[in-house]
Amino acid sequence: MHGEELEYVREAYETNWMSTVGENINEAERVVAEKIGRKFALSLSAGTAALHMAVKLAGIKPGDKVFCSDLTFAATVNPVVYEQAEPIFIDTERDTWNMDPVALERAFELYPEVKHVVLVNLYGVPGKMDQIREICNRHGACLIEDAAESMGATYKGRQTGAFGNLGVLSFNGNKIITGSSGGMLLTDDQEQAVRARKWSTQSREKAAWYQHEEIGYNYRMSNVIAGVVRGQLPHLEEHISQKKAIYLRYKEGLKDLPVAMNPYDEENSQPNYWLSCMLIDDAAMCKQVRTDTEATYVKEPGKTCPTEVLERLAVINAEGRPIWKPMHMQPIFRNQPFVARDGFSDVGIDLFHRGLCLPSDNKMTPEEQDVIIRVIRDCFS
């Protein structure tokens, strides 16, 4: 927090604009649309609400098959299921940990009827957007871009959130710009923006009374939350710089260990470094076993695993977590189709097995990060 947030919240309070209209909303939408390079940005109660509106605007209907990123948080996929469609999970590629274009092309060969793709830019790293976009265009598919974790990241100089037919941002409490909650829908289509605004305010018709001709949702952002977002937005580049410094400090501090940091396309993309993640070399992994809810390991000299590292970090009150568990491994989605580039490999499972998200709070001091690095190094002793 920087101070401006509180001023805008106080302004909403003192002018009594506490509901889902007000200057904070108008200004936050204007700034975000201009920053991302979209014509319209619509403030909503959460990134998930924005994804749900995108799914509806894209015309996804009950029974439709939808290609979805596999290595992501469930919020990316849940809105597809809200509309009773069927997610088909596309495996991950190692260069960026995002949707594999080769696997996506293979999926279109297997399911040529599919007309929708939901892609996430994982941990603030852009996917291979040119390839994904070209494949979608060639197959006549609508691309929904989940940029919840990647606001401010660019691919070939273009902001993430601008590549999909529809884009989505999140201002959840842990995101690089936060409102404590909230999200935005991004589009270049005025008609889509008008429809989503109507749906998000309970689909009220233009009448003196409450008139409803279609199902609506209570999805609008409050002017109070928008005040926090508005106060945060001028600090986006500052936050990215802080996150990058954390990533580079980890990379330097761990460089002689059998580990690698989460990768990105250094030639074409600039991530926002939202989360710094570490992947342990396969040969340096001790034995680790996970059930759906628990994990254990057998310590071996010179080796470690995510479970041990996370346990050691918890002792010093530093929060880490495993890499996202792939969607096709989740109990609720295990019966859904999964497509890998060669039909049998599973990159997502491997990343989940060997990877972890490191403490990445931009308020973390270099001295605190040095303690974390020492703990990680000790795990290999």
Q: How confident is the model at residue 27 (pLDDT cuts 50, 70, 90)?
A: very high
Share of the chain above pLDDT 70, in %: 100
% of the chain exceeding 90 in pLDDT: 99
The residue-averaged pLDDT of 253-273 equals: 97
Check if the beta carbon of residue 86 is closer than 8 Å to that of residue 62: no
Which sequence spans correspond to the domains of the chain?
4-235, 236-379
Q: What is the pTM of this model?
A: 0.96
Give residue 341's pLDDT.
96
pLDDT value for 353: 98
What's the whole-number average pLDDT of the chain? 97
For the cut 90, the answer to whether the pLDDT of residue 344 exceeds it is: no
CA within 13 Å, CB half, 208: 0
For the 4-235 domain, the top CATH level (class) is: alpha beta
Q: What is the pLDDT of residue 107?
A: 98
Residue 285: Cβ-neighbour burial (10 angstroms; 0-12, 13-18, 19+): middle
Summarised one tens digit per residue, pLDDT across range 55-64 is 999 999 999 9
Q: Give the residue, 345 or 237, on which the prediction is more confident.
A: 237
Task: Provide the CATH topology of domain 236-379.
Answer: Aspartate Aminotransferase, domain 1 (3.90.1150)
Those residues with Cβ within 8 angstroms of residue 140's Cβ, 6 or more apart along the chain or in another chain: 115
The backbone torsions φ and ψ at residue 294, rounded to the nearest 5 degrees and listed phi first, read -135, 160
Q: Average pLDDT for residues 313-342, to the nearest whole number?
A: 97
For 280-323, write each residue's pLDDT tens digit: 999 999 999 999 999 999 999 999 999 999 999 999 999 999 99
343: confidence class by pLDDT, cuts 50, 70, 90: confident
Residue 4 has pLDDT above 90, yes or no: yes
Question: Nearest CA to 230 among 38, 53, 22?
Answer: 22
- Is 90 exceeded by the pLDDT of residue 256? yes
